Each structure stands twice: as C-alpha cells, then as structure tokens.
C-alpha cells in the first residue's frame, strides 16, 4: 500500500490497527466481515484516526506476522487463510493481512457460533449480522436464490396455475411495444413456470415457491413488507406529507400502481405532434418505470422494510431494501454490470416485458436523464438499502399546457422517443407517414383498432381515457396504438376538437 492510500483512512475494504490488540476479537470480527463481503485488508502498524505510519521493528516483525495469520486461521469457521504481506511505507514496515471474498459463506467466529459470531461490513464499520442477513449469506454461499425456494406445506391447483399464466400473458400483451410484438407473444405454460422455478413439480403435484407467492399477491403472512410505499413531500425534506399511498398485491401490479401515483404528482405538459396533442412529463417515464421495476425485481425479500418511491420538489427517489451484491459496486451498475438476486422473478418479469435485458437498465436511466437535461442521477449505497434519485428542474408551459417549444425538454423527449422506437424492428413500418391503403385496411381489421375506431365514430369528441375505457385496455396501450394508426386524425384544439376516421 502507498502512503496516499493509507491517508484516505478506513473504508469498507480497509481497517487499520496500530498493533495487535490484546482483545484479538477486535480484528477477527473484521476479518470475518471482509470474508462475508467483497474482501478487504487488515493493516497493522498504522495509527487509527491520524493514519500515521508507525510500523514495527525488524526483531518483532515476523513474530507478529505469524501471530496474526494463525489467529485468523484458528478463530474463524469456515477456516480463513489470509494472504500475508510485509510492506514498507514511508521507510517503515507494516503488516497487511489480505482477506479474500469467501466462497463458503457465512463466515463466523467459531467460539461464538453462527448466530452470534457472524459479522458484515457496512460503510466502513464492522457490524454483527442480523438473522435475515445470515440467511442471505447462506444463500450466497450455496449460490441459491431465495425466491426460488419452495414454500413448505402448500400445493397449487391447475386452476390457480392457469389463472397466473393468463394474467402474466395479458400483462405481457399490455406492455408490448407494437402489433408485431403482440402477435408473436406466446402464452406462458406450467412447464415454463417450473423451468423458471416459480413452481416445483413432484409426483404429479405442483408446489409453490416464494416467487409464486409474490407474483400472485399472497404475501400478507410470508412477506408483510413486500409492498411499495409512495409519498409526496412538501419541499425537499420528509417533514410534511402532501400525499401518501401503498401499492399492494401481485408485485407486477404494484409497479403499475406506483406509475399511476407518480404520473399524478409530477408535472405534465403537452405538445402538438402532427394533428394530435402528445403528453410530455417533466421526467422520463421509461426511466422511472425502470427504477421501480428494478427495485421490485432485485430487492431482498428477506430484508425488513418496503420499497419507497418519494417525490420532493427537487427530486424523485426510489429506495430498495437489501445490500448490493459484494461483487458489485456503484461504478459497475453505471457501466451496465448487474447480478440477478431473484432469478425466478427476473424470468417472469422478462417474459412480461417489465425488464428487457438484465444490466441494461441503469445505463439507460443515465442516458435519459442527460437527454432531459436533468444531470446524472444520484446513487447511494447505505449498506442495507440502495437508493437512486432523479433530479427535477423547472417545467414551463403556456396557459394552454403546451410546453415552451424552445425548451430542451421537447428536444430531449424526442431523442428518447426516437431511441425507444429504434429498439423495435418493425415500429418504423407501423408509423410510416406514407403507408399504403392496404396497410390502413390491415390496421382496421386489428381487434383493438376496430374498438378504437368504433369508439371514435360513436363519440368523435371522446378523450383518450374514454377510448381506453371502452376498449378495455390501459391508457398507455391506447397512446401507443394511436401512434401506429394512420387511418385516424385529430382535428381542432384539445378542448373542442374531434376525431376523424378515413373510410
């Protein structure tokens, strides 16, 4: 180690000791904590707080070297073998015990047992692990996913399986980007639920895993904290609530409920796009959906506490319970690296188009925030929870709610939309301004398009919400479909205009 590195002081992977303390547990606990995390260094011969290098004389050096190595090996279970080094810094010799990340977690002090002798490292401090963290360490040590664990003493009926499969299929259809994707969407089957470890099949019977419970919303007993808390605060602190709500039930539906809450409480403007009015939110909605979806998919369902979506005057925050995987850092996340904590939920969310490609979400959130002129999102790792914040900025509209055409928001929204459109191989075809008459006929034969046209003919002044209600789909689905339909147009102002349909 260099003098500059030592002067930075202790942090999550470095702890300094002036000498071998008489109570050796003081550094043995940290050795265990390093092994249970991302590894770390125990540095002996450096004064705490000031980080002055004191070192050891040559006649004591190797005796202390052996004593440190032997005490770590003898005291820990499973056994830890530190990589020992003698380094010279500022002309003085120090001892460094390198603790590698453990493969057989949890590691603990043998004399205290697993429940009392397991420690973890949080924000540069060694802490005793709570029982739920010990369970997480056990899962990490065996490379298992908690959500794929079978629920003891319960069975699932074929009717219940069919009901979940149908609901997942409908959710997937609702989140498809275009007609081509909807036509190619396949129904999920019991075999796939077994493959994804949402179900366990044994002797012609089906048994649920924890993922099944979370996806069906049967969570009150097993997962009392598996819901989303949503709140709007006055100003930039949590002193005064303006509104609050909780999203409960199936975890995929919680995401949709949270999105409705967010849309209700952030600024909405519009712009005139071709012949119709297009909604524009002050924040990139795809990014907010990504953050909430990631929180639900990757949170620790062993950790106490719920997901929180908090809206302040200057930011929107999404906080997720659970510590980051030891092999991940914030820099890794920004670069697109990820580790799936809940493999069964992740597979289900991928099928329903809630998440697209594991690891791609956070880079897209940063890209969208920059396009909107919001600056980089802020990421904080609290050791036992994780938070991402999107900054807010002034959002100006004219008296009719139309965004200032010179504002960067318009340009940014267009950039994000163009990027999203390019992700679909067929979307350019469905949105081409010069589509032929035969393409219009195809659109009119589409069941959803037929329902939309029928609603418009019945009531030419119908709002999008009216059309969505009559068609039996979400407002987001109607918005996407209207952009694809070239046989319709909106004429007039937003308040007094009407729909026209080409025959």
Give the number of other Cβ atoms within 10 Å of residue 271's Cβ: 19
* The residue to which tokens 């999107």 are assigned: 390
CATH top-level class for 3-142? alpha beta
E strand or H helix at 280: strand 276-281
Q: Where are the domains of the chain?
A: 3-142, 228-337+352-417, 436-501
Specify the pLDDT at position 433: 41
Biggest CA-to-CA distance, the chain: 98
Residue 116 CA: distances (Å) to CA of 141, 333, 350: 18, 33, 39
The pLDDT assigned to 405 comes to 46
Burial class (CB in 10 A: 0-12, 13-18, 19+), 98: middle
Estimate to the nearest angstrom the gap between the alpha carbon of 30 and the chain centroid.
29
pLDDT tens digits along 130-150:
999 999 999 999 989 999 999
What are the average pLDDT values for consecutive 10-residue runs of the chain, which has 503 residues?
82 91 92 95 91 92 95 95 94 95 95 96 91 94 93 94 96 91 94 97 95 94 94 95 96 96 89 65 92 94 95 96 84 82 94 78 89 92 92 74 52 52 47 44 65 84 80 75 79 72 77
Instruction: Kindly give the residue spans of alpha helices, DSSP state H, lying in 143-250.
Output: 158-174, 179-184, 190-195, 210-216
Give pTM, 2 decimals: 0.76
Cis amide linkage into residue 284, ω under 30° from 0: no
* CATH, domain 228-337+352-417, list 3.40.50.1390, 3.30.565.60, 3.40.190.10, 3.40.50.11890: 3.30.565.60
- The CATH class of the 436-501 domain is mainly alpha
Peptide bond into 119 cis (omega under 30): no
Q: What's the CA gap between 500 and 503, in Å, rounded?
A: 9
String of b and e for 303-326 (b: at least 16 CB within 10 Å)?
beebbbbbbbeebbbbbbbbbbbb
What is the three-class DSSP state of 226? coil
Give the closest residue to 28 by CA, choosing from 69, 56, 62: 69
Whole-Å CA distances, 90 to 2, 98, 169, 226: 8, 20, 65, 53
Beta bridge partners, 388, equal 318, 379
């Amino acid at each position: 180690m260099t003098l500059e590195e030592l002067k930075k002081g202790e942090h999550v992977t470095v702890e300094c000791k002036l000498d071998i303390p008489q109570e050796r547990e003081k550094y043995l606990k940290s050795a265990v904590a390093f092994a249970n995390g991302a590894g770390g260094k125990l540095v002996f011969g450096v004064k705490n707080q000031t980080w002055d290098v004191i070192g050891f004389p040559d006649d004591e050096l190797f005796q202390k070297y052996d004593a440190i190595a032997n005490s770590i090996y003898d005291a820990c279970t499973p056994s830890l073998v530190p990589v020992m080094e003698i380094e010279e810094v500022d002309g003085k010799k120090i001892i460094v015990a390198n603790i590698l990340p453990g493969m057989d977690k949890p590691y603990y002090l043998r004399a205290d047992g697993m429940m009392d002798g397991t420690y973890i490292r949080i924000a540069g401090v060694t802490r005793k692990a709570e029982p739920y963290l010990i369970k997480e360490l056990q899962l990490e040590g065996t490379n298992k996913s908690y959500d794929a664990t079978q629920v003891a003493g319960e069975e699932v009926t074929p009717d219940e399986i069919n009901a979940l499969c149908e609901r997942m299929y409908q959710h997937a259809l609702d989140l498809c980007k275009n007609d081509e994707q909807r036509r190619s969407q396949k129904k999920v089957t019991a075999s796939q639920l077994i493959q994804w470890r949402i179900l366990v099949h044994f002797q012609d019977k089906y048994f649920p895993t924890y993922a099944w419970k979370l996806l069906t919303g049967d969570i009150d007993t097993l997962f009392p904290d598996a819901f989303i808390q949503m709140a709007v605060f006055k100003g930039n602190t949590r002193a005064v609530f303006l509104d609050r709500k909780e999203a409960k039930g199936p975890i995929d539906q919680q995401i949709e409920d949270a999105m409705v809450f967010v849309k209700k409480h952030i600024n909405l403007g519009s712009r005139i796009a071709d012949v119709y009015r297009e909604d524009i939110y002050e924040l990139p909605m795809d990014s907010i959906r990504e953050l909430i979806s990631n929180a639900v998919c990757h949170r620790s369902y062993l950790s106490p506490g719920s997901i929180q979506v908090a809206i302040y005057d200057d930011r929107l925050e999404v906080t997720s319970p659970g510590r980051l995987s030891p092999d991940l850092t914030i820099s890794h996340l920004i670069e697109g690296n990820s580790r799936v904590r809940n493999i069964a939920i992740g597979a289900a969310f991928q099928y329903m188009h809630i998440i697209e490609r594991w690891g791609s979400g956070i880079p897209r959130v940063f890209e969208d925030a920059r396009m909107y002129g919001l600056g980089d999102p802020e990421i904080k790792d609290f050791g036992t929870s994780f938070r991402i914040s999107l900054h807010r900025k002034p959002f100006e509209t004219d008296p009719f709610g139309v965004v200032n055409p010179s504002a960067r928001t318009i340009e940014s929204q267009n950039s994000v939309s163009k990027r999203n459109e390019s992700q679909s191989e067929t979307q350019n075809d469905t949105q081409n301004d010069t589509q032929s008459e035969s393409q219009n006929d195809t659109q009119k034969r589409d069941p959803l398009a037929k329902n939309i046209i029928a609603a418009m003919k019945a009531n030419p002044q119908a709002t999008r919400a009216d059309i969505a209600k009559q068609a039996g789909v979400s407002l987001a689905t109607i918005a996407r479909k209207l952009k694809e339909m070239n046989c319709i147009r909106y004429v007039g102002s937003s308040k007094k205009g009407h729909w026209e349909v080409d025959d």
